[in-house]
Structure 1
Amino acid sequence: MTDRSHVLIVDGMALLFRGFFATAFTGNFMVNSKGIPRNGLFGFLNYFTNSVETFQPTHVICCWDMGSQTFRNELYEGYKSNRDAPPEELVPQFDLAKDIVTAFQVPNVGVTGYEADDCIGTLTKQLQKDHQVTVVTGDHDLLQLVDDNINIAIMKKGQGNYDVFHADNFYEKKGLTPKQIIDLKGLMGDSSDNYPGVKGVGEKTALKLLMQYETIDNLLADKENLTKGMQKKLDQYAEDLAISRKLAAIHTEVPLTFSVETAVWNNDLTNIRTYLIDELEFQNPGRWLDKLWEKATG
């Protein structure tokens, strides 16, 4: 058992989107008297408070995208160009979700030109030496960050279900090392983020190649011993492979200054209770706060 402090980093984008789409299909956006939709906020609160209750952190941070354009769009014009704009009912809930986090006295972290993933990656690397770090997300791209003292908790279907990846179980679960996730996506591309990889190389082939060669660099160094078909693909799509590797890699040197002292989890939930009732008109904030209060007071 360690006496290290435990920092929980919450992927705010993942939680808010998940909360919104979990209820949006019903058409009930939970609009309050000010005309503000709150269905995403309701789900966000469910996931946020459950993650704190589950992982019992000493510190909490929440990370966000800061607009749709990042350095990856400069690297590759088509990056995420296949995605629709957020639904109009979701748009006002982004800032309100950040206000909720602030009311919890938790810092919001985001840097223009970078994704939330990059901020999360930067923070995990800054904090892992002196702290245990757990990241809560639904984004499997973040698995490349798993390392000593860095766990990634992937949200599963149903509230409170997490698949926790750490340095000791990662290979058993994935058949790869965390760093190989970057090369896996470099080879196979990513349809959700709209970058190509090597055309004709799917996950099964990419996994087989990485199990044999470990890295793309090793693979390319031994290209002459590959099948003629694979040689042709690697030659024909060499540029796509190179750019896809860059796009897949989470940037861990975002220019952000952060003091972990600002992230100490505060068990005084008065501010958030008042905010949820007076500003957002949630009638029963106890559904999110009572369990946290019980944990705090023992």
Structure 2
Amino acid sequence: CFDFPGPTFRHKKFKEYKAKRPPTPKDLVSQIPKVKEVLAAFGVPIFEKKGFEADDLIGTICKISPADAEVIILSGDMDILQLIDSRIKVFLLKRGIKNTHLYDQNRVKEEYGISPSQIVDFKALRGDPSDNIPGVAGIGEKTAIDLLKRFGNLEDLYRELEGNSEKAKKIRQKIRELLLRHKKEAFLSKDLATIKKDIPLKVGLEECSFERYNREKAVEGLKKFEFYSLTEKLPEPTLSLRF
């Protein structure tokens, strides 16, 4: 899955979305068509859609996959961890291909102190500078995690706050004021951080089958870019693998 060039539906909701990111290096941009060409040579399907990010495509594919299918997502993006559930895991590439970790529900909770489903609530409170998601000004990481441990999610937190419940009264006055003052930004931030799972996308397991692998085409694709040593490592076409 690839990001489609240009603005997304998130930019329409918040024009400053990702505004502080430096432009993608031209050398990297020029490599993307070549990556797609090599993937096509291996028979790997490519998905991208105008107005959406790669994460939204991944989320949608996970949603429409069979309920009994085990799903493992390969990504270097921490945002994707929000998709983890009882059948979905994430193989996260942190620094290069050797520093990788397989995340399930337990590992996310052990490392971050929250469940995968709470990641969007965390971003709603803390924000995300890399994507220029505002969050609630003045709320840091520790406070955000503490609030989620006590209230579960953003909606329940604000329900307690606005009802002035006994539970909400235990929140420090300054934090309560910040939360109430920046409610709009909090819910906007959650909306921006949430990966969509319902975009129009025609895909089935058959189209993603690795049975389309053709060794001759793969060799040809690698040689075009002078990856000669890799051609010797390619599996024989008799292998029947399915993704």
Give the TM-score taking structure 2 as reference length. Answer: 0.88
Match of 1:98? Answer: 36
In the other structure, the counterpart of 1:139 is 77
Give the structure 2 partner of residue 108 of structure 1.
Answer: 46
Query: Pick from 206, 209, 214: which aligns with 1:268?
Result: 214
1:133-176: CA deviation from partner (whole Å, max 9, x where unpaired): 11011111111100122111111334243211124544334322
Question: Aligned partner of 1:126: which letter?
Answer: I
Q: Distance in 2 between matches of 1:172 and 1:84?
A: 33
Change (3 A) 1:195 1:283: same
Residue 28 of structure 1 aligns with which residue?
A: none
Q: Structure 1 residue aligned with 2:95, among 154, 157, 161?
A: 157
SS in 2 for 1:108: coil
Percent identical across equivalent pairs?
Answer: 32
Which of structure 1's runs of 4+ aligned residues deviate more than 3 A?
167-170, 291-297
Partner of 2:188: 243
- 2:179 maps to a residue whose letter is L
How far apart, CA to CA, are the structure 2 residues paired with 1:74 and 1:176? 30
2:117 to 179, 188, 196: 179
Pairwise CA distance, 1:219 = 1.3
Q: Take 1:295 and 1:108, find their aligned partners in 2: how far apart are those partners?
A: 23
In the other structure, the counterpart of 1:72 is: 10
Counterpart Cα distance in 2 of 1:282 and 1:292: 15
Residue matched to 2:20: 82
Q: What SS does the aligned partner of 2:121 have?
A: helix
Deviations along 1:89-122, whole A, 9 cap, x unmatched?
1222111111111111010011111000000000
Matched, 1:212 2:150: yes
Determine the C-alpha separation between the residues in 2 that align with 1:227 and 1:168: 30
C-alpha distance in structure 2 between counterparts of 1:207 and 1:293, whole Å: 49
Q: CA deviation at 1:294?
A: 10
Alignment match of 1:290 (pick from 216, 227, 233):
233
Distance of 1:203 and 1:259 partners within structure 2: 39
Change (3 A) 1:295 1:241: farther
Alignment-mate amino acid for residue 65 of structure 2: L
- Asked if the contact 1:128/1:149 (under 8 Å) is kept, the reply is no
- In structure 2, the residue matched to 1:221 is 159
Unaligned runs of 5+ in 2: none
Matches of 1:194 and 1:98 in 2, distance apart? 29
TM superposition shift of 1:231: 1.8
Q: Select 1:258's aligned residue among 170, 178, 203.
A: 203
Task: Report the number of matched residues.
Answer: 232
Structure 1 counterpart of 2:200, one-letter code: P
TM alignment of 1:111-122, pairs within 5 A: 111-122=49-60
Q: Residue 27 of structure 2 aligns to a residue in which SS?
A: coil
Do the aligned partners of residues 209 and 292 (structure 1) sit closer, same or farther apart at CA in structure 2, a change above 3 Å counting? farther
Letter in 2 for 1:215: N
Q: What TM-score do the two structures reach when normalised by structure 1? A: 0.73
